[in-house]
Amino acid sequence: MGVRLNVAAMTLLVLFASHANAQVFDVTANGAKPNADSTQALLTTWKEACASATRSKIVVPKGVFKVTQALFQGPCKAPIEFNLQGTLQAPPVGGGFKGGDTWIGFEHVDFLTVSGNGVFDGQGKSAWGKKCDHTEYCGKQLPINLRFDFVTNSLVQDVTTLDSKQFHVNVLGCKNVTFHNFHVIAPENSVNTDGIHIGRSTDIKILNSIIQTGDDCVSIGDGSKQIYLTQVTCGPGHGFGIGSLGKYLNELPVQGIFVTGCTLKNTLNGVRIKTWPNSYPGTASDIHFADITMENVGNPVLIDQEYCPWNQCNLKVPSKVKLSNISFKKIHGTSSTPLAVNLVCSSGAPCQNVVIQDINLKYSGSQGPITSKCKNVKPTVGGVQNPAACITSA
């Protein structure tokens, strides 16, 4: 793990050094103005910079620049940096908002850097109160703040995504992308605002970042491989989640997830793997959580293969997603619920090779003593166990 992170750190330095002598493209030269719609100016500037045969750097200076929707497409002829020093601001619902699933998107770009201490402001507060009945995906007409589709060998550093209407970041079909000193900000009551969602991507690193939101801080979907979360602080939010898996046909395997040295504060869940009952077949393996600090966290350690929100599934048919080679090590702190370790695996495909080691959690509430549960799993247990492992088992 240390070797991999050293390589990641070297990659960051190389990427930044590569832009030191870049040709600069200032969006104001193409008509971008503070407090005015600057969408076309941004798109024009991107097109010019992307066509450059040498390294390019797009600069958005300080100020608030309004953007209706922007898709920055490659491939580009050379490495490109999007340097955001100011704020890009989305229209609120009812204020020129036209729907869609994307606000700012980068796609088919190699050697992209997004940097600059700026803010992507989704103005999501205008959307979170929208009523829906849970019979369909409530946010399907609401845009994700930042999409990275088929982006490779890239770095996102120092920027902030604020108050997205839906997910803050969606990573799809990407390879070798690092988020470093990345910040997500949204209140606890923001609906469906996952911090970073990763799907069908390989070698994604989230390092030294802070995620505060109303849903999963990081959610990992099917086809995700070699995903590294290191020194990430989550809270408020719903914790770090793998899944839910098994809902759709032909989901790709999840393999190689490493969550290390992270902190969760006042979150609904801690570290969680969830699959649907009555699911399509699938696999998730080599998933490892280590050196995790919990501060007033609900469900700190959770495998839930009976995940069934709004009771819209058949719990009598077990999940067909096979979970294997999973470890929870050196997890300590405080739980806001008495059931601190809850490993509910599938009766149709019991979890294999699960390790729980050095778990030290405390609960001081009034709902009874701290406890644990194991179902359809026989974990290998080592070190400190508080609560004792598998107090309730089936």
What amino acid positions are annotated as catalytic residues? 215, 238
DSSP one-letter code for 195: S
Residue 372 preceded by cis peptide, ω within 30: no
DSSP one-letter code for 310: G
C-alpha span between 11 and 207 (Å, rounded): 13
State the DSSP string of 37-51. B-HHHHHHHHHHHHT
Assess contact for 371 and 340: CB atoms under 8 A. Answer: yes
- Which amino acid is located at 231 in the chain? Q
Residue 125 three-state SS: helix
**Burial call 277-314: b when 16+ CB within 10 Å, e when fewer:** bbbeebbbbbbbbbbbbbebbbbbbbbbbbbeeeeebe
Angle at 328 between CA 322 and CA 332, to 5 degrees: 150
Half-sphere exposure of 173 (CA within 13 A, CB side): 9
* H/E element, 119: strand 119-121
C-alpha span between 236 and 96 (Å, rounded): 30
Q: What is the dihedral of CA 378, 379, 384, 388, to 10 degrees?
A: -30
Backbone φ and ψ of 41, nearest 5°: -65, -40
C-alpha span between 144 and 215 (Å, rounded): 14
C-alpha span between 63 and 299 (Å, rounded): 42
Tokens linked to 149: 């589709």
